[in-house]
Structure 1
């Protein structure tokens, strides 16, 4: 969802029509964006301003869907970045997505190596969202976390169930169908039973070299079947 949001929303509706049933549209905004330079605070990230978040929320509502605020923290702490959007998270239709490959260790420049997140940090974020839901009498909030390689999410069993939070693990493997299935099979081995499955497709990266984008029926034939499918 970049550039002309009306056009992007129309494309999202078209893509939704390729799936059975009545899937709910979801808009992801990279709200905390990783940077190649440290910035004044040395954290290698910037945050979206309120006007940008409002534009994306307006589009999500126009589509009768929800908005996920995606976090690429650089050297910042995930929970601190999530808390920075608390005034938005009190809205009933806004959740969180995490990009742990961009949560790099001290001394590592983003892009030099994959970052990572531990299950205990996922659990702290889930607990925080659960508290928000209870305090403000909100509907269940989605907590998605993207995973491109096995090393990106560690000690995943430390993520426990929390009331009012719907956790989803999204496999971000890139490439041909066979390469994506290989990544899926590796990454899904550690998914806790209470966490739903998600799958990401890339219009450009997945079709380089003549590869064909996976069809919706192929995506939904995965085991476990994804409850959330992302297109980029």
Structure 2
């Protein structure tokens, strides 16, 4: 059984036309089935060997002490005092995640439900709601600049910030660099990252360092890339007297992140290694143990898919099951 990801992209060449397709909701991301041509070319891609059996009984969550690596964060840090519950996607597409799948009022009401579920499951850890928006999307065509990525407009980001205000939610800006780099993409987002409630996500799956086309194989980030991002954020924190920033790093295979032991931990930035694969609960737990538990870096995250997690399973994982993981995730993302 595969722990799958979906890779359909727009196939037009002009960036303006690509955006119109996105606005029409024709973009697909991880909610859609895998690209069949890519799967045929590389049938081993995204496969995870199952080494654990499904739990027959869900154990209650236990309080586990974990000595978080790295220096103590600066005042105002969110983790580990709170658990973040985030809705992920793009408000211009109904097919990239729950953030854009539902009308705004319905989406926020559903977020309220998940916040209540997690508050009930772990009453000792306050919940911080969040909206996690993809603001640079990987593309299957070169597009403007031949970087295989499409930058969203400031208006889209502003709209997400306005939605977040309605729930006192923090915001994550997620970057899929394609054949671009973090060095090129982060400066454009700086005016938003200077805001105290705006944080960053970087998706290694779509970082095509060797010139590949996004979606045809899984990309990678090295410790050098992650250190650039944390250094960039740390400087913003210091220069603007901000509380610590959060950096979410997507991961669901070994090669997605290389040289993790060389990642520099800083008091200005809190790093979350985020398990970002979908499938049966047993597969998701196994992937978490293989690639997150063994190389946690600092804090950990876990993703739940409203659609894809049900493709090969009759149910999604429960908060109790996720709370029983070691280390206990403090960032939970719904797509």
1:218 corresponds in structure 2 to: 321
Matched residue pairs, number? 230
C-alpha contact 2:226 2:263 (8 A) present in aligned 1: yes
Decide which moves more: 114-123 or 154-163.
154-163
Q: Does 1:76 align with 2:175?
A: no
Decide which moves more: 26-35 or 77-86.
77-86
Q: Does 1:2 align with 2:100?
A: yes
C-alpha contact 2:222 2:257 (8 A) present in aligned 1: yes
- How far apart, in 2, do the equivalents of 1:172 and 1:211 lie? 19
Aligned ranges 1:133-152 → 2 under 5 Å = 133-152=237-256
1:29 corresponds in structure 2 to: 133
1:16 corresponds in structure 2 to: 115
C-alpha contact 1:104 1:110 (8 A) present in aligned 2: yes
> Which structure would you say has the larger RCO, counting Cα contacts within 8 Å and 6 or more residues apart?
2
Shift of 1:159: 1.2
C-alpha contact 2:223 2:259 (8 A) present in aligned 1: yes
- Residue from 186, 201, 204 that aligns with 2:304: 201
Q: Does 1:93 align with 2:197?
A: yes
* CA RMSD in angstroms, aligned pairs only: 1.1
Q: What SS is found at the alignment partner of 1:13?
A: helix
1:190 corresponds in structure 2 to: 295
Decide which moves more: 155-164 or 95-104.
155-164
Structure 2 unaligned blocks of 5 or more: 1-98
The structure having more radius of gyration, on CA atoms, is 2
CA-to-aligned-CA distance 1:102-161 (integer Å, 9 cap, x gap):
001333111110000001110111011001001001111111111021110110112111
Structure 1 unaligned blocks of 5 or more: none
Shift of 1:66: 0.4
Shift of 1:59: 1.2
- How far apart, in 1, do the equivalents of 2:295 and 2:140 lie? 31
Cα 1:13–1:79, aligned 2, differ >3 Å: closer, same or farther? farther
Q: Which has the higher helix share?
A: 1
2:66 corresponds in structure 1 to: none
- TM-score by structure 2 length? 0.67
C-alpha contact 2:179 2:211 (8 A) present in aligned 1: no
CA-to-aligned-CA distance 1:175-226 (integer Å, 9 cap, x gap):
001110111111021222xx10100011111111343100011111110000
- How far apart, in 2, do the equivalents of 1:125 and 1:207 lie? 34
Shift of 1:60: 1.3
- How far apart, in 1, do the equivalents of 2:156 and 2:167 lie? 17
C-alpha contact 1:6 1:59 (8 A) present in aligned 2: no
- TM-score by structure 1 length? 0.96
- How far apart, in 2, do the equivalents of 1:36 and 1:104 lie? 11
CA-to-aligned-CA distance 1:75-126 (integer Å, 9 cap, x gap):
0002321221001111110000011100013331111100000011101110
1:228 corresponds in structure 2 to: 331
- How far apart, in 2, do the equivalents of 1:64 and 1:107 lie? 40
1:168 corresponds in structure 2 to: 272
C-alpha contact 2:279 2:312 (8 A) present in aligned 1: no
